[in-house]
Amino acid sequence: VRRDMSSVPRVYVTRQIPPEGLKLLRESGQVQFDIWDSDDVPVPRNELLKKVKGVDGLVCVLTEKIDPELLDAAGPNLKVLSTMSVGFDHLSLDELKKRGIRVGYTPDILTDAVAELTVALLLTTSRRLIEATHQAKTGGWGTWRTLWLCGYELANSTVGILGLGRIGVAIAERLKPFKVKKFIYTDVAPRPELASMIDAEYVSMDELARQSDFLAVCCALTPETKEVCNKDLFSKMKNTSIFINTSRGGVVHQEDLYEALSSGQIAGAGLDVTVPEPLPTSHPLFTLDNCVILPHIASASYTTRNAMSVLAANNLLLGLKGEPMIKELKL
């Protein structure tokens, strides 16, 4: 039986997403989709603007800016946007809301992977593992030395969380067995339910800076959080403190961070996210021994990335059917 394909919703997928999600889209029989056939290069903007013309649904990742220009190019058929990310700073939410476009995203399923990586990055930074392997490999390893490559330990420390959500809680749960003395956090308002799970105390931003031996940034990037980690914050931190960011680079004023690290205002920083991404190899932050930079891999486990692709596919399919999505952003 030939199906009249004109009634089947058209979808554009901006990236070769992991196989489980693609399989779901392919086998649903519910959509006809076109896909940018690479995971190594993002779809060029011009191509994207052409491809979205007239689509009913769009699956994207965080490298695509979903702004008025793109929504205009797509036109009025577009009803559902599904991003394979928990972050949504690449989306113009006001515009999506205005146009009545529903938005799916992928929270929760990546929390474990992101928390694991954050702990790994924290320990890598505080115990200077990158410097240490480099020294071992390149002949810097002389005799055993009493203060060589010393770092800072979690035992008896105060850990501060900037932006307490699911991920902040998951990080604290993992750090607790390292004998952390105290968890503190700040946010736009106290979050007693989450805080009680990890016995964390609500403090001001100033106190967070002053007290934290380890400060982990776990907030979303919004106009309110843009560059809140700046000179003002770093100047209040202890010079033995470690700064960790696995949220979004835009939360940090990078020049101020460079200053704080190079002047010894703070002891070290571990960053999984930067501005821009990729961070050019010539960037001054790469010259610092006390800055560990990862290429935005916090959610990068096979299990999690496949689960994200499945959730993104399901959100899209449910949205196109006019049903509640599994994880839908309230606009």
> Contact letters (x/-) for ligand DGY, 280-299, by CB under 6 A?
-------------------x
Q: Are 25 and 316 in contact (CB under 8 A)?
A: yes
The reply to whether 118 sits near ligand DGY by the rule CB under 6 A is: no
Q: Which is nearer to ligand DGY, 108 or 199 (CB)?
A: 108
Q: Which amino acid is at 57?
A: G
Please report where in the chains the tokens 């060029």 appear, as a residue.
44
- Which stretches within the chain are classed as H helix? 19-28, 45-51, 68-74, 93-98, 111-126, 129-138, 166-175, 192-198, 205-211, 231-234, 254-262, 302-320
Q: Which of 85, 211, 245, 290 binds ligand DGY (CB under 6 A)?
A: 85
The reply to whether 86 sits near ligand DGY by the rule CB under 6 A is: yes
In the complex, least distance from residue 110 CB atom to ligand DGY, rounded to whole angstroms:
6
Q: Which is nearer to ligand DGY, 274 or 299 (CB)?
A: 299
Please report where in the chains the tokens 């989709």 appear, as a residue.
33
The reply to whether 111 sits near ligand DGY by the rule CB under 6 A is: no
Q: Which amino acid is at 157?
A: S
Q: Which is nearer to ligand DGY, 85 or 186 (CB)?
A: 85
State in Å, rounded, how far the first CA of the chain is from the last one.
41
Please compute Rg for the chain using Cα positions. 22
The reply to whether 87 sits near ligand DGY by the rule CB under 6 A is: yes
The reply to whether 212 sits near ligand DGY by the rule CB under 6 A is: no
Q: How far apart are CA 103 and CA 284, in angstroms?
A: 37
Collect all residues with Cβ–Cβ distance below 8 Å to 56 and sequence separation of at least 6: 9, 10, 11, 31, 77, 78, 79, 80, 320
Q: Which is nearer to ligand DGY, 85 or 126 (CB)?
A: 85
Q: Which stretch binds ligand DGY (CB under 6 A): 7-15, 84-92, 133-141, 234-242?
A: 84-92
Q: Which is nearer to ligand DGY, 22 or 109 (CB)?
A: 109
Q: Which of 110, 184, 208, 261 binds ligand DGY (CB under 6 A)?
A: 110
Q: How far apart are CA 88 and CA 90, in angstroms?
A: 5
The reply to whether 62 sits near ligand DGY by the rule CB under 6 A is: yes
Q: How far apart are CA 180 and CA 129, in angstroms?
A: 20
In the residue annotation, 283 being an active-site residue is answered as: no
The reply to whether 312 sits near ligand DGY by the rule CB under 6 A is: no
Q: How far apart are CA 162 and CA 158, in angstroms?
A: 13
Size of the residue set binding ligand DGY (CB under 6 A): 6
> Which residues are near ligand DGY by CB under 6 A?
62, 85-87, 110, 299
Mind telling me the catalytic residues? 296
